[in-house]
Amino acid sequence: MKMNRRGFLAAAGLGALPGLAGGADLAKMIVRSPNPQDLEMSPDGFQAWITPLDRFFVRCHTYVPERADLATWKLKLDGVVNQPLALSMDDLKKLPRVELVSVAECAGNGRSFYQPHVAGTQWALGSVGNGRWTGVRFRDVLAKAGLKDSAKHILLDGTDVPLGTMPKFQRTITVEKALDPDTLLAYQMNGEELPQEHGFPLRVIAPGWASDSWVKWLTHAEVLDHEFEGFWMKTAYRHPKGPVQPGATVDPSEMIPVTDLNVKSVIATPAAGSIKSGRVRISGAAWSNGSPVTRVDVSANGGETWKAARLAKDRSRYAWRLWSYDWTASDGKYTLMARATNSAGQSQPLEQAWNPSGYLWNAVERVEVEVSGKEIISLYTDEPAAAQQQPQGYQAACLTCHDEGMMRQQHLTPAQWDREVNKMTGWGAKIKPEDREAILKYLSDSFSQ
Ligand code: HEC
């Protein structure tokens, strides 16, 4: 029997740990943080059109909440509506059932590639997946309540509980996006009940938009006639309107909410390292914001010349498209690249414009390979653990809500660490004034740029 961590816990009679429950197979995932759960898909996941549940990335700002009891669960809908409602799952399932394949991509996917580094979960390529979502149109639900003319935004709230004094995770989407016939409230994923870590029993599907708007564990939608002022709309998930200097501090008035995804492609095969000469299949997946990908071009010589890749037949407006190109590789060193273009003529940049929170990375990926007559197996080493001794008060202040993996993946300057410590203190980290300096020094020395 194949044993993963969850299987092991179950077999040992321990059940699942809080926050570790769910469909992801930890053995197949890159664990960025075990709890709050941030799990990344590895690049070979870009070979399947539909991402299986056990490989689908997971992004949580808090611990996964307790499973809802459908006998009592309700979706509340109120605010500037004619008729406030509380709908049961049975009520929702009476509405027309709609199915849609769409990419879900975290706004921070690719954050780890930004230079200078920025704070946040250090995703590489795989905080994205292509899912089959089933549910009801959000607009059918809104029609039952009747929007008033003044309706502008919809505040979405789930049952996730903030840690310490962090602000509750609440997001808004515009009424226009909510009324889009492709915006769903989904109760199924890949034909199965929505897994707990993906938002059981109901989550928002806002295709074409980054998945910070795809609120999970949804229980309340409040229609607003004004802009919402909460942290996750006014401070987090914003990026500059125009180009800024790398590393710059950007005035909040110059920042706008993250919505549309960027056109992007990822190379699944071959992986960087050594490969055998002969016919090599360069393959991957490409997606966009609702203007479908119309072509993917591949270069095996660092961008000097490009060849059109073959697009696979499975397609859907918001889904990713698999692509491949057969390359005859002779001995030498090569830089492989893939660049997607969408139906609106948008294409990937060779160099990424920097932004302060590291959102929406879509620069053309470069995979370095060395081709030779023989196959060589490359070995990966994990990042080394911090060599420094942990300072006084650090455990109690910093390692009560999450583990040190959260710090280890960051590569921040002392000034950025100072801001992180302030943020965490604001969220309830209890740091004694006399310990602060040593903790800051430790963080800056151990987990620096
Ligand atoms: C009250 C609980 C709590 C304590 C105590 C705490 N953190 Fe966090 N921290 C969080 C949560 C929750 C997240 C995840 C936030 C998210 O995913 O948006 C987080 C995320 C982070 C991150 C990732 C970057 C970011 O801002 O999301 C860093 C770095 C970090 N914490 C450092 C620290 C340090 C250093 C301390 C000690 C001074 C600390 N934390 C203490 C709750 C806490």
Measure the CA–CA gap between 302 and 336, rounded to whole angstroms: 6
Does residue 401 have its Cβ closer than 6 Å to ligand 1? yes
Does residue 107 have its Cβ closer than 6 Å to ligand 1? no
Measure the CA–CA gap between 174 and 78, rounded to whole angstroms: 15
42 Cα to the center of ligand 1, angstroms? 24
Q: Distance between the two ends of the chain, CA-based, in angstroms?
A: 43
pLDDT in the model for residue 413: 92
Residue 387's CB: how many other CB atoms inside 10 A? 7
407 Cα to the center of ligand 1, angstroms? 8
343 Cα to the center of ligand 1, angstroms? 40
Does residue 117 have its Cβ closer than 6 Å to ligand 1? no
pLDDT in the model for residue 22: 57
121 Cα to the center of ligand 1, angstroms? 10
pLDDT in the model for residue 4: 38
197 CB-near residues (< 8 Å, 6+ apart): 21, 22, 23, 24, 37, 58, 60, 64
Measure the CA–CA gap between 297 and 263, rounded to whole angstroms: 13
> Hey, whose CA ends up nearest to atom 41 of ligand 1?
398
Does residue 402 have its Cβ closer than 6 Å to ligand 1? yes
Does residue 189 have its Cβ closer than 6 Å to ligand 1? no
424 Cα to the center of ligand 1, angstroms? 5
pLDDT in the model for residue 5: 37
213 CB-near residues (< 8 Å, 6+ apart): 156, 171, 173, 177, 204, 206, 259
Residues 89-129 have pLDDT tens digits of: 999 999 999 999 999 999 999 999 999 999 999 999 999 99
Contact 174, 139 (CB under 8 A): no
Residues 123-136 have pLDDT tens digits of: 999 999 999 999 99
202 CB-near residues (< 8 Å, 6+ apart): 75, 89, 92, 135, 185, 186, 187, 194, 217, 218, 219
Residues 367-383 have pLDDT tens digits of: 999 999 875 554 544 45
pLDDT, mean of residues 174-184: 98
What amino acid is encoded at 91 in this protein? Answer: D
Q: Work out the pLDDT band at 423, boundaries 50, 70, 90.
A: very high
45 CB-near residues (< 8 Å, 6+ apart): 51, 55, 126, 129, 268
Query: Sign of the CA dihedral 398, 399, 400, 402?
Result: positive
Measure the CA–CA gap between 246 and 256, rounded to whole angstroms: 18
Q: 135: which 2 tokens?
A: 């549910």
pLDDT in the model for residue 449: 76
pLDDT, mean of residues 59-74: 96
> Hey, whose CA ends up nearest to atom 27 of ligand 1?
120
**Which ligand 1 atom sits nearest the alpha carbon of residue 427?**
1
pLDDT in the model for residue 389: 87
Q: What are phi and psi of 50, to 5 degrees?
A: -100, 125
> Hey, whose CA ends up nearest to atom 23 of ligand 1?
120
Does residue 166 have its Cβ closer than 6 Å to ligand 1? yes
Q: 245: which 2 tokens?
A: 């200097």
Does residue 36 have its Cβ closer than 6 Å to ligand 1? yes
324 CB-near residues (< 8 Å, 6+ apart): 281, 282, 283, 284, 309, 310, 312
The closest of 221, 223, 180, 187 to 203, measured between CA atoms, is: 187
Residues 8-17 have pLDDT tens digits of: 333 333 333 3
> Hey, whose CA ends up nearest to atom 24 of ligand 1?
120
The closest of 254, 301, 263 to 282, measured between CA atoms, is: 301
